[in-house]
Amino acid sequence: MKHEQFVTSENGVVSAFVLGLMMTFVVCAGLGVDGGRLVASRLELADHAENAARIGAQELTELRSGEPTIDESQARTSASSYLSAYELDGEVSATSNSVTVTVNREIEMTLLKLFGASNHLLSVTRTAEPSDQ
Protein backbone atom coordinates (compact mmCIF):
# COMPACT_ATOMS: atom_id res chain seq x y z
CA MET A 1 0.00 0.00 0.00
CA LYS A 2 1.28 3.32 -0.99
CA HIS A 3 1.18 6.30 1.36
CA GLU A 4 0.02 9.51 -0.16
CA GLN A 5 1.34 12.71 1.20
CA PHE A 6 -0.97 15.63 1.40
CA VAL A 7 0.79 18.87 0.86
CA THR A 8 -0.96 21.92 2.17
CA SER A 9 0.29 25.31 1.35
CA GLU A 10 0.18 27.74 4.25
CA ASN A 11 2.79 30.06 2.91
CA GLY A 12 1.89 33.64 3.76
CA VAL A 13 -0.59 32.85 6.53
CA VAL A 14 1.85 33.88 9.24
CA SER A 15 2.82 36.95 7.26
CA ALA A 16 -0.80 38.09 7.00
CA PHE A 17 -1.27 37.55 10.74
CA VAL A 18 1.87 39.51 11.58
CA LEU A 19 0.84 42.29 9.20
CA GLY A 20 -2.57 42.49 10.90
CA LEU A 21 -0.94 42.67 14.32
CA MET A 22 1.47 45.36 13.17
CA MET A 23 -1.35 47.47 11.75
CA THR A 24 -3.27 47.10 15.02
CA PHE A 25 -0.24 48.21 17.04
CA VAL A 26 0.36 51.23 14.78
CA VAL A 27 -3.30 52.30 15.06
CA CYS A 28 -3.19 51.95 18.86
CA ALA A 29 0.05 53.94 18.99
CA GLY A 30 -1.51 56.55 16.70
CA LEU A 31 -4.52 56.89 18.99
CA GLY A 32 -2.19 57.32 21.95
CA VAL A 33 0.13 59.81 20.28
CA ASP A 34 -2.35 61.84 18.25
CA GLY A 35 -5.08 61.58 20.90
CA GLY A 36 -2.65 62.83 23.52
CA ARG A 37 -1.64 65.73 21.31
CA LEU A 38 -5.32 66.66 20.84
CA VAL A 39 -6.00 66.64 24.58
CA ALA A 40 -2.87 68.67 25.35
CA SER A 41 -3.69 71.19 22.61
CA ARG A 42 -7.26 71.55 23.84
CA LEU A 43 -6.03 72.33 27.37
CA GLU A 44 -3.50 74.83 26.04
CA LEU A 45 -6.12 76.58 23.90
CA ALA A 46 -8.56 76.69 26.83
CA ASP A 47 -5.90 78.40 28.97
CA HIS A 48 -5.19 80.96 26.26
CA ALA A 49 -8.89 81.66 25.63
CA GLU A 50 -9.50 82.10 29.36
CA ASN A 51 -6.49 84.38 29.79
CA ALA A 52 -7.46 86.55 26.82
CA ALA A 53 -11.03 86.83 28.10
CA ARG A 54 -9.80 87.80 31.58
CA ILE A 55 -7.50 90.47 30.16
CA GLY A 56 -10.39 91.91 28.17
CA ALA A 57 -12.70 91.83 31.20
CA GLN A 58 -10.24 93.99 33.13
CA GLU A 59 -10.93 96.95 30.83
CA LEU A 60 -13.48 98.60 33.10
CA THR A 61 -15.01 102.06 33.06
CA GLU A 62 -17.21 103.91 35.54
CA LEU A 63 -15.47 102.43 38.57
CA ARG A 64 -16.28 105.41 40.79
CA SER A 65 -19.99 105.21 40.06
CA GLY A 66 -20.18 101.84 41.79
CA GLU A 67 -21.47 100.13 38.66
CA PRO A 68 -18.41 99.35 36.56
CA THR A 69 -18.91 98.23 32.98
CA ILE A 70 -16.54 96.82 30.41
CA ASP A 71 -15.17 99.21 27.79
CA GLU A 72 -16.13 96.98 24.85
CA SER A 73 -13.73 98.47 22.32
CA GLN A 74 -10.74 98.40 24.67
CA ALA A 75 -11.64 94.88 25.84
CA ARG A 76 -11.63 93.57 22.26
CA THR A 77 -8.32 95.33 21.61
CA SER A 78 -6.66 93.92 24.75
CA ALA A 79 -7.90 90.36 24.19
CA SER A 80 -6.92 90.48 20.50
CA SER A 81 -3.45 91.75 21.46
CA TYR A 82 -3.04 88.78 23.77
CA LEU A 83 -3.99 86.38 20.97
CA SER A 84 -1.59 88.11 18.58
CA ALA A 85 1.25 87.94 21.09
CA TYR A 86 0.88 84.14 21.19
CA GLU A 87 0.23 83.89 17.44
CA LEU A 88 -3.22 82.40 17.97
CA ASP A 89 -6.18 82.49 15.60
CA GLY A 90 -9.37 83.51 17.32
CA GLU A 91 -12.39 85.74 17.69
CA VAL A 92 -13.19 88.20 20.44
CA SER A 93 -16.57 89.63 21.35
CA ALA A 94 -17.39 91.95 24.22
CA THR A 95 -20.47 93.35 25.88
CA SER A 96 -20.70 95.71 28.81
CA ASN A 97 -20.89 92.67 31.12
CA SER A 98 -18.58 90.03 29.63
CA VAL A 99 -15.82 89.19 27.17
CA THR A 100 -15.93 86.00 25.10
CA VAL A 101 -12.90 84.60 23.29
CA THR A 102 -12.85 81.68 20.85
CA VAL A 103 -9.47 80.25 19.89
CA ASN A 104 -8.98 77.92 16.90
CA ARG A 105 -6.08 75.71 15.88
CA GLU A 106 -5.68 72.97 13.30
CA ILE A 107 -3.85 69.93 14.70
CA GLU A 108 -1.96 67.78 12.23
CA MET A 109 -2.30 64.04 12.67
CA THR A 110 1.00 62.13 12.61
CA LEU A 111 0.53 58.36 12.87
CA LEU A 112 -3.19 58.32 12.14
CA LYS A 113 -2.49 60.14 8.87
CA LEU A 114 -1.19 56.79 7.61
CA PHE A 115 -4.73 55.45 7.94
CA GLY A 116 -6.50 58.36 6.30
CA ALA A 117 -7.21 60.56 9.31
CA SER A 118 -7.16 64.21 8.31
CA ASN A 119 -6.10 67.18 10.38
CA HIS A 120 -8.42 68.08 13.25
CA LEU A 121 -9.71 71.60 13.93
CA LEU A 122 -9.94 72.45 17.63
CA SER A 123 -12.07 75.35 18.79
CA VAL A 124 -12.33 76.45 22.42
CA THR A 125 -14.53 79.27 23.79
CA ARG A 126 -14.23 80.91 27.19
CA THR A 127 -16.07 83.87 28.75
CA ALA A 128 -14.97 86.14 31.57
CA GLU A 129 -16.97 88.62 33.61
CA PRO A 130 -15.63 91.26 35.98
CA SER A 131 -15.85 90.39 39.64
CA ASP A 132 -15.11 92.31 42.83
CA GLN A 133 -14.05 89.19 44.71
Judge if pTM exceeds 0.85: no
Amino acid at residue number 27: V
β-pair partners for 102:
91, 125
Is-contact 123 107, C-beta < 8 A? no
Residue 108 makes CB contacts below 8 A (sequence gap 6+) with 119
Domain assignments of the chain as residue spans, ordered by start:
13-128
User: Tens digit of pLDDT for each residue in 61-106?
Assistant: 887 777 889 999 999 999 999 999 999 999 999 999 999 999 999 9
3 state SS for 29-49: HHHHHHHHHHHHHHHHHHHHH
Residue 77 makes CB contacts below 8 A (sequence gap 6+) with none
Is-contact 80 92, C-beta < 8 A? yes
User: Tens digit of pLDDT for each residue in 39-59?
Assistant: 999 999 999 999 999 999 999
